[in-house]
Chains A and B, each alone.
Chain A
Amino acid sequence: GAGVSQSPSNKVTEKGKDVELRCDPISGHTALYWYRQSLGQGLEFLIYFQGNSAPDKSGLPSDRFSAERTGGSVSTLTIQRTQQEDSAVYLCASSPSEGGPYEQYFGPGTRLTVT
């Protein structure tokens, strides 16, 4: 079946601009996660959504970062006023959430470059 998809695959933006990154989880997966992978920080958790519960935003590095999940499916990660340190690969993952535990399935990522 289809895996997690992310768009765009690459994004180059100028410092100070806003960007939106999109994630389509695996159909039927009720949990959705955002991580980022950067040279300096490795792989780090940003935010996750589980069903209708309030999202866990504990990993968001600043208030310039936000995410939403519409209709329990597609999610958008928004970075406002981008900075060079935001350059990274942003990864989305999904999993079932009822019962469990479960592994998380990762998408190919969006490579963000802030110039």
Chain B
Amino acid sequence: AQSVSQHNHHVILSEAASLELGCNYSYGGTVNLFWYVQYPGQHLQLLLKYFSGDPLVKGIKGFEAEFIKSKFSFNLRKPSVQWSDTAEYFCAVIIKAAGNKLTFGGGTRVLVKP
């Protein structure tokens, strides 16, 4: 079965540090890729998405992600985090051949220390 892997379950870092969260998926066909964020007590919201075109996509709040097709990866980055970036981050994939349902990774809890 197709799957999405997020390598880090928990990340702790200080403000102004750089963040990179890994995401790999196991499907060789056409995919749409997403990063969603869930702030404490809030619902899931979209950070950024990749459908086609430039593999480097920019999202809200200074986040960006790079789609590397040859590595089946879609890693999330932010050069300088803030305390308000404390949240759980989910990578998700739509496999076009399987319909529009999202397959999520296990999530990464990020704690930014002030």
User: Which of A33, A43, A58, A104 has a CB less than 8 Å from the CB of B107?
Assistant: A43
A33 to B49, CA, bound (A): 18
Q: Which residues of A contact B107 (CB under 8 A)?
A: 42-43
Interface membership of A109, Cβ < 8 A = yes
Q: Which residues of B contact A103 (CB under 8 A)?
A: 34, 46, 49
A45-92 interface with B by 8 A CB criterion? 45, 48, 50, 56, 58-59, 91
Once A101-B94, A103-B49 are accepted as A-B contacts, the answer to whether A45 and B43 lie under 8 Å apart by CB is no
The total of interchain contacts (Cβ-Cβ below 8 angstroms) comes to 54
Q: Which residues of B contact A33 (CB under 8 A)?
A: 100-102
Interface membership of A18, Cβ < 8 A = no
Q: Kindly report which residue of chain B lies nearest to residue A6, judged by CB atoms.
A: B43
Q: Which residues of A contact B83 (CB under 8 A)?
A: none
Q: Which residues of A contact B92 (CB under 8 A)?
A: 43
B67-114 interface with A by 8 A CB criterion? 90, 92, 94, 96, 99-107
A42 to B42, CA, bound (A): 16
Interface membership of B45, Cβ < 8 A = yes
The reply to whether B43 and A109 contact each other, CB–CB distance below 8 Å, is: yes
Tally A residues with Cβ within 8 Å of B: 25
Q: Which residues of A contact B103 (CB under 8 A)?
A: 45
Interface membership of B32, Cβ < 8 A = yes
User: Which of A48, A107, A109 has a CB less than 8 Å from the CB of B101?
Assistant: A48
Residue numbers of A with Cβ under 8 A of B are: 31, 33, 35, 42-45, 48, 50, 56, 58-59, 91, 93, 95, 97, 100-101, 103-109
Cβ contacts A to B, 29 pairs, < 8 Å: A33-B100, A33-B102, A35-B104, A42-B104, A42-B106, A43-B92, A43-B102, A43-B104, A43-B107, A44-B104, A45-B102, A45-B103, A48-B101, A50-B99, A50-B100, A56-B99, A58-B101, A59-B101, A91-B43, A100-B100, A101-B94, A101-B100, A103-B34, A103-B49, A104-B102, A106-B44, A108-B42, A108-B43, A109-B43
